[in-house]
Amino acid sequence: MSDSSLPDPSRLDPSRRDYALIIATHDAAVTAGERTYLDPSTGLIVQTRNAHLERGTCCNSGCRHCPWVQAT
Contact 35, 51 (CB under 8 A): yes
Query: How much is the pTM?
Result: 0.87
| pLDDT tens figures, 21-68 | 999 999 999 999 999 999 999 999 999 999 999 999 999 999 999 999
Q: What is the structure's pLDDT at 4? A: 63
Q: What is the structure's pLDDT at 62? A: 92
Alpha carbons 70 and 55: distance in angstroms, whole number = 17
Nearest to 26 by CA among 61, 18, 56: 18
